[in-house]
Amino acid sequence: MDENSRSAMERRLRVSFVFVGCAFIAAANAHAQSAAENGLLGSSFGASISYAPASSGPGGIIKASLNKGGSVRRVALRFLGKEYTLGKPEDGLEPFALLGIDLDVKPGLLSLDAVFETDGGEKEEIRKEVPIHPKQFPVKRISVSKAFSEPPPHVRERIQKEAELLREVYGRTTPRWLGEGSFMKPHPASLVPSFGERRVYGGNSPLSIHQGVDLAVPKGDPIRSSNSGRVVWAAETYLSGNTAVIDHGLGLFTVYCHMSRLMVRTGDTVKKGDTLGYCGSTGRSTGPHLHWGARLGESRVDPTLLLGLSLD
Ligand SMILES: [Zn+2]
């Protein structure tokens, strides 16, 4: 990057840092209001789908639930190009689905389509529009060693390879729900609401998006699985250090980074509250803390929203 474009970027960063404060509060208020609302897709067959919240924003999670009734056997939902099927456990289906809205989704109206199907094979399609509110994210500069702000070519290759492997992990959906009840914080420490923050690690590094939240966990404290599931990644990763990824089913994964030591292996089954490892500062980290993230397929979603999901 040349000097002109660098100073232009710095100006943009300074400007954005000033105005995002108010926008952030406004977005948070809009979210709090929308969270109380429920949306409904009602069929003439008797069953319906309720979904909450009825409006959302980038990084949001919508829970859609089937209210059984009449002769409806299954419901196919379509949202943001993805398909979800809700139905009866005896048909190998779950009565709810979790819909993810990636950080990059633009504000506007998104279509949520439901196709209700009866035992006799009759179908009815209902559509609702889901408003997606704009959200501004602050920009933050973080100093890390050159090994992380300007990694040499062989390290860049490793970073790319690990990103590809993780994409494959997030692409494999378990069709059944593996969680048990509501989600818990992986540690009681205070949580820094920094999801979606734009970060600059050193002068020449590109903007990086913070895909989770940070918890001020003391070094060496146990990090617990926020719900039951299966370990689909337990390995030392260049940027996120010792990392565990838990598959909770239905496309939902939680991610735990920078641990000093991992206590689980890929393929293990974990219960909610099980120790995954111990807090550390491995990978691109400025000190001991837990980075906690969540994915719904390829959508990067805010893990703190999991704590408010009613799953009992
Ligand atoms: Zn983090």
Q: For residues 205 and 281, state if they share a domain.
A: yes
CA of 292 to the centre of ligand 1 (A): 7
Tens digits of per-residue pLDDT, 79-101? 999 999 999 988 999 999 999 99
In a domain, 275, yes or no: yes
CA of 88 to the centre of ligand 1 (A): 38
In a domain, 13, yes or no: no
pLDDT at 176: 95
Tens digits of per-residue pLDDT, 240-274? 999 999 999 999 999 999 999 999 999 999 999 99
HSE (side-chain half, CA atoms, 13 Å) at 266: 9
Tens digits of per-residue pLDDT, 54-83? 999 999 999 999 999 889 999 999 999 999
CA of 303 to the centre of ligand 1 (A): 12
The total domain count for the chain is 2
Q: What are the CB-based long-range contacts (under 8 Å, 24+) for 110-114?
A: 110/79, 110/80, 111/78, 111/79, 112/39, 112/41, 112/51, 112/64, 112/77, 112/78, 112/79, 113/77, 113/78, 113/79, 114/41, 114/43, 114/49, 114/75, 114/76, 114/77, 114/78
Q: Is the pLDDT of residue 32 over 60?
A: no
CA of 214 to the centre of ligand 1 (A): 5
Buried-state track 135-151, b at ≥16 Cβ within 10 A, e below 16 = bbbbbeebebeeebbeb
H runs (alpha helix) in 112-152: 146-149
CA of 50 to the centre of ligand 1 (A): 33
pLDDT at 205: 66
CA of 291 to the centre of ligand 1 (A): 4
Q: For residues 175 and 223, state if they share a domain.
A: yes
Q: Do residues 62 and 98 lie in contact, with contact meaning Cβ atoms separated by under 8 Å?
A: yes
Mean pLDDT, to the nearest integer, of 201-211? 77
CA of 73 to the centre of ligand 1 (A): 43
Q: For residues 156 and 303, state if they share a domain.
A: yes
Q: For residues 199 and 72, state if they share a domain.
A: no
Q: Is the pLDDT of residue 141 over 50?
A: yes
Q: Is the pLDDT of residue 200 over 70?
A: yes
Q: For residues 144 and 188, state if they share a domain.
A: yes
CA of 212 to the centre of ligand 1 (A): 6
pLDDT at 308: 94
More confident residue, 32 or 218: 218
CA of 132 to the centre of ligand 1 (A): 25
Domain range for 295 is: 139-308
